[in-house]
Chains A and B, each alone.
Chain A
């Protein structure tokens, strides 16, 4: 069956529900998961042809989408390994006697400007700009060097020739072009490339810095919420992002469930926000865990730039950036966990940081949950689906069956009870192709790729 290149109803106002089918899974099948193999970030590039993943071992693996060829029509849409490299190594901070983890916290692609691809990858302390370039030709016929690279004796050169380019097997090289270090005292949680394609921001728990991609020895601090007395610290920065179109606007979220939008034109230090987004608390549902579950783990602007989405522990909220007092939409991801908050606090699951993402047309949002479940919410309907990333449903082009969690006493067939959910299988990182309905879901050490079913 030929796979049609462009998915029908590309996220638009189609009334039929998107059906997902399994495309690929990457990663080892062993039950024993090595800590270093746990995927910590997933990101498509601007065209969707490249998909980058970072893991706890500091490695970056880039997958490239296979081009449609007449000889292999079925492989269109498959992602295969393009490049693998060690981005960050574990370091030791001798001054503080602390180990700096090599775990890749975030990867952000730069828009492509020439034949090479550039991405930023960061661990807790250092951001690196990597250049990924292809080499499929090599020069032969040097005058001063032999084929194996040894220098030739000058007197042996009897004639001059022009070196020629000969094809060779494709080699993908990744080389670090810039290292942006020593600017963060606390752990970096976000990086975001500006729409001017010349600057980017990096955010840690208490500060946000603005960098120029060409300058590594200097960065500007644009937000600093560190109190004079660390004793008074009650709030930290959890995520930050630049507006997709306005290069002077960025937002950052906090552990208290608030989002601040800042305009860099107003002041050099953007401690004063331009807009402050906070939903008033519902006093009836107040508990000791209210603050913890309101902590925002991810904030993402929509592609249009009109909306932004925030993820807290139990829900996803869509905000209109022109309305600060409440979100325009709220979606419950796993409301059945509300009664289990104490246990989740005890086993630290309540501190899990889930990410969220938009589809290309901003009509659907996706986020992860436990038991390798992930949820998609179609905003126009509204309609939501729960799907599972598992090896069992990993047959080629197998349609994913929607899952359901049983919240009442009576469990129907195929439903799963809250108590039998596996809280070790959490989907924290997901990514959606910028234009098509292809999603990448990171389940611990495996990367699942799903594609919309086409008829």
Chain B
């Protein structure tokens, strides 16, 4: 029922169409389908578990969770929560809207990126929207607070990780395209091995430093990070220009060696496919197998009960 609630909340959330499409797939495609839903569920689960840890009131609705996450990510540390809470409360909806727009845009760009024949006009318009949001966020210093805090690694991980979770869909997109990605993957493979049983915290721990490095919102190094972001967009366009699945694979080749629960699953699934087209989801299997099948299998084993629920529904 816990997961059922998550599924419900995803049905309410606007990106539910993907979930519904996947759920109506034939059995043979279910493993791949499950991975997508799993990633989405994990996203929701992580958010939810966050809520539990903090002892906050749990609600089944994602948008509320987003608000919770939003509050957290704007804060330096726990001690600052009360101080800035009042300020944030004033305009939660605008930031929330902007954030969800950003997430949506990056997902769209990601899918554009993976389409066999990307529509250049659409990609350019979406990329411009993302740039615009980035500029505005940089200007109003929304992300300044995250970057200035530099407490211990543990607390940093925890705080930033929750931040990551709120923006995980965006980070999937960005993380892939950053060239420095590979080094971080290798660094944290050990961490993952140790925490393999606890998929949630692993994902969060792994993603946290990556996000720090690849965050485009960092005020300390705005130029560099703008460069990173620019680079990610650049690579999108270069790939669009090349329009070859091979170049997409090249971009993802650094990811292949690593094992990130949410990220790998999304990567493995999303490459070379169109959203919502069931027949093209057959390419899921092939691309998933090449990239991350071995990595995902243990994941599937661990989360078998989730699969059963999906199959039944």
Q: List 17 A-B contacts (CB under 8 A).
A: A96-B242, A97-B245, A98-B117, A98-B244, A205-B120, A230-B237, A230-B240, A236-B120, A236-B121, A236-B124, A255-B125, A291-B132, A295-B121, A342-B101, A343-B14, A348-B108, A351-B125
Q: Is B230 engaged at the interface, CB distance under 8 Å to the other chain?
A: yes
Q: Chain B: residues with CB nearer than 8 A to chain A?
A: 14, 97-98, 101, 104, 108, 116-117, 119-122, 124-125, 127-129, 132-133, 230-231, 233-234, 237-238, 240-246
- Taking CB atoms, residues of chain A closer than 8 Å to B124 are 233-236, 255
Q: Chain A: residues with CB nearer than 8 A to chain B?
A: 96-101, 124, 186-187, 205-206, 229-231, 233-236, 238, 255, 288-289, 291-292, 295, 342-343, 345-346, 348, 351
- Taking CB atoms, residues of chain B closer than 8 Å to A99 are 116-117
Are A288 and B133 CB-contacts (below 8 A) given A236-B124, A346-B14?
A: yes
Cα–Cα, bound, A230→B243 (Å): 13
Q: B128 and A291: CB pair below 8 A? A: yes
Cα–Cα, bound, A346→B241 (Å): 25
Q: Determine how close the nearest CB of chain A comes to the CB of B191; give it in whole angstroms.
A: 33
Q: A97 and B125: CB pair below 8 A? A: no
Q: Determine how close the nearest CB of chain A comes to the CB of B108; give it in whole angstroms.
A: 8
Q: A345 and B104: CB pair below 8 A? A: yes
Q: A288 and B237: CB pair below 8 A? A: no
Q: A231 and B125: CB pair below 8 A? A: no
Q: A292 and B245: CB pair below 8 A? A: no
Q: B117 and A231: CB pair below 8 A? A: no
| Number of A-B contacts defined by CB within 8 Å | 74
Select from chain B the residue with minimum beta-carbon distance to A237: B121
Cα–Cα, bound, A124→B116 (Å): 14
Partner of A292, one of B116, B119, B120, B125: B125
Are A187 and B133 CB-contacts (below 8 A) given A233-B124, A342-B101?
A: no
Cα–Cα, bound, A15→B127 (Å): 47
Cα–Cα, bound, A348→B126 (Å): 11
- Taking CB atoms, residues of chain A closer than 8 Å to B233 are 231
Cα–Cα, bound, A100→B117 (Å): 8
Cα–Cα, bound, A229→B233 (Å): 12
Cα–Cα, bound, A231→B127 (Å): 11
Cα–Cα, bound, A367→B101 (Å): 29
Q: A98 and B121: CB pair below 8 A? A: no
- Taking CB atoms, residues of chain B closer than 8 Å to A206 are 120
Q: B234 and A291: CB pair below 8 A? A: no
Cα–Cα, bound, A235→B237 (Å): 12
Cα–Cα, bound, A206→B129 (Å): 20
Q: A205 and B121: CB pair below 8 A? A: yes
Select from chain A the residue with minimum beta-carbon distance to B117: A98
Q: B132 and A288: CB pair below 8 A? A: yes
Q: A186 and B120: CB pair below 8 A? A: yes
Select from chain A the residue with minimum beta-carbon distance to B131: A234
Cα–Cα, bound, A231→B237 (Å): 6
Cα–Cα, bound, A99→B238 (Å): 18
Q: A231 and B132: CB pair below 8 A? A: no
- Taking CB atoms, residues of chain A closer than 8 Å to B128 are 234, 291
